[in-house]
Amino acid sequence: MMLRASFCASAARNSTPGSIYTSLSGAVFPPARLISRYLKSRRTPMNDKILKRLLPIAILLLGVLATIILIYARPDVKKQPVEVIPPLVRVLDVVKTEHRMVVTSQGTVTPKTESTLIAQVAGQIIKTSRSFAPGGFFNKGDVLVQIDPRDYELAVTRARAQVALAELRLAREQEEAEIARDEWQRIGKGEPTPLVLRVPQIKEAQAALDAARSTLQKAEIDLERTQIRAPYRGRIRIKNADVGQFVGPGTPLAVMYAIEYAEVRLPIPDAELAFLDFQIDFRDARHSGKGPEVEISAEFAGTRHAWAGYIDRLEGEIDARSRMVHVVARIDDPYGKNSGNPIPLAIGLFVDARITGKVYQDIVALPREALRNENQVLVVDDENRLYMRNVAVLRKDKDTIYIQHGLENGERVCLSPLEVVVEGMKVRTSSESNDNDGGHAAGNGVQR
C-alpha cells in the first residue's frame, strides 16, 4: 500500500491534471469515472493548481492510513513459554578408599660394575676361554686369557735357586758365629764384640735371603698373572685381544660388567618424594636395608615383561637442568640364573618403573577432567543442581587427582566440560560404564 501511495504521488507531481484524473480512475477509487467527470466539469485554472498541490499529500495520508489499518487488523500471536533443556553431564559417585600412591618414572638398565680387563705382564696370548667373546658369560675366577708362561716359569726357577743359596749362606754364617762364640769363651776374657760373633755377616746373609724370597714371590706372582682370571661373575661386552697377539702391561683386553644385580637410575620430581616411604638424607645417600619396592617393565621380544626390584639409594644431588632428584633401583639376578626368569633384564634396555609409595586413608580418586580452577570440583546435588566445591588436592598425576578433604561418600562430581557454569543450574545426568575409565583409580567410584 505504501508503494502504491508513493507511486501515485510521484505520478501526480510529474503529470497534468487530466492524466491525474485518468490515473485515479484506474488505480485508487472504484467509482473513479464518475468523480473524474465531476472534476472535469469543475475544472478551472485555479482548481487545477490547488489540486496539483494537495493531491500528493492526500495520497500519502491515505497510504499511511491503510498501513495503520493493516497493522491493527493482523491476528494476535499467542506467546508460549520456551522450555529450557538442562545440559547433559557425566557424574561420578564419591567413594572414599584407602589408596597406595605409585610414583612412575623411566630409565635405562645399567650394570652394577663395569670394568676393563687389562694385562699385567708382557707376553703372547696362547689361549682364550670360550666365554671370552662379546656376550659371553663367565664366573668369578674363570681363566679368560692365558699368556705364554714359559719365561715366567724360568724366572720362578731362578728365584728359587737364589733363595736356596741365600739360605745356605745364612746357615753357614750362623754356624761360624757359634764356633767363634765357643772359641772366645775358651781363650777370651769379657764379652765378645759383635764383629767377633759375626753379627754383621749374619745380618747380611739374612738380608740376602729376604731379597731372594721377595724375588721368588714376585716371579710367582708374575707367573700367576699369565692366567688372567675374571674378578667377578659377569659378561663380556667388548673384546680387544685374541690368540697370537703380543700384549704388555696395561694393554686392554676386554670390557666386561658384573651381572650379580643391575641398576636403573630413575629421575623423579622432588615433590614426588613426599609420597615415597623412603628416608631422605643427602648426608648418607645409601638407604639402610631395602627401600620401596619397584616394578620394572619393558617391551622385549614383542611381549611386555616385568621384573621386581627395590630402591637401593638416593643420589645426593639435584640435576641442574631438569631439577629432578634421582633414585637408584636395584634388580637382583637380572639374567635369571637363580630366579628362573626366562627373559633377561638386558643391560641398556629402556624400562618403565612403578615405585610403591605410602598408603593414605579416606582418599577420593577422580579423573583429571573433574578438577576446575586448580582446587575446585562441580558437585551435583539430589535435585540435579550444580554447585562449585573447594577441595584439598593431595596429588595430581597425568590422568588422576587425589582429593584428601572436601568431598563426602555418596556425593556426585560432574566430569563433563561446561562452557558456562551458574551456581544452582539444573543438569541432567547420564549413565556410563566404569570400564571406560579403567585408567583411573580402579574401584574408586561408579560413573553414572
pLDDT at residue 332 greater than cutoff 80:
yes
The DSSP call for residue 426 is B
Residue 419 in any domain: the answer is yes
Domain with 19 in it: 2-73
User: H-helix or E-strand containing 212?
Assistant: helix 199-225
Whole-number average pLDDT of the chain:
82
Q: What is the dihedral of CA 322, 323, 327, 333, to 10 degrees?
A: 0
Q: What is the pLDDT of residues 359-373, one digit of tens each?
A: 999 999 999 999 998
For residues 282 and 349, membership in a common domain is answered with yes
Distance separating alpha carbons of residues 314 and 330, to the nearest angstrom: 12
From 254, 272, 299, the end of a domain falls on: 254
Cα–Cα distance list, 73 to 63, 66, 106 (Å): 15, 10, 81
Q: What is the pLDDT of residues 394-443, one digit of tens each?
A: 999 888 999 999 999 989 999 998 888 889 999 998 854 334 343 443 33
CATH number at residue 335: 2.40.30.170
pLDDT at residue 446 greater than cutoff 70:
no
For residues 217 and 131, membership in a common domain is answered with yes
Residue 83 in any domain: the answer is no
Q: How confident is the model at residue 34 (pLDDT cuts 50, 70, 90)?
A: low
For residues 352 and 261, membership in a common domain is answered with yes
CATH number at residue 379: 2.40.420.20
- For 139, the 3-state DSSP assignment is coil
For the segment 176-182, the average pLDDT, to the nearest whole number, is 82
Q: How far is CA 55 from the centre of its chain?
A: 91
For residues 287 and 248, membership in a common domain is answered with no
For residues 228 and 293, membership in a common domain is answered with no
Total count of domains within the chain: 4
From 326, 359, 392, the end of a domain falls on: 359
Q: How confident is the model at residue 110 (pLDDT cuts 50, 70, 90)?
A: very high
For residues 250 and 263, membership in a common domain is answered with no
Q: Note whether 357 and 103 are within 8 A (CB).
A: yes
pLDDT at residue 76 greater than cutoff 80:
no
Of residues 374 and 280, more confidence is placed in: 374
For residues 262 and 249, membership in a common domain is answered with no
Q: How confident is the model at residue 448 (pLDDT cuts 50, 70, 90)?
A: very low
Residue 170 in any domain: the answer is yes
pLDDT at residue 447 greater than cutoff 50:
no
For the segment 181-203, the average pLDDT, to the nearest whole number, is 79
Cα–Cα distance list, 180 to 169, 175, 197, 199, 250 (Å): 16, 9, 6, 11, 53
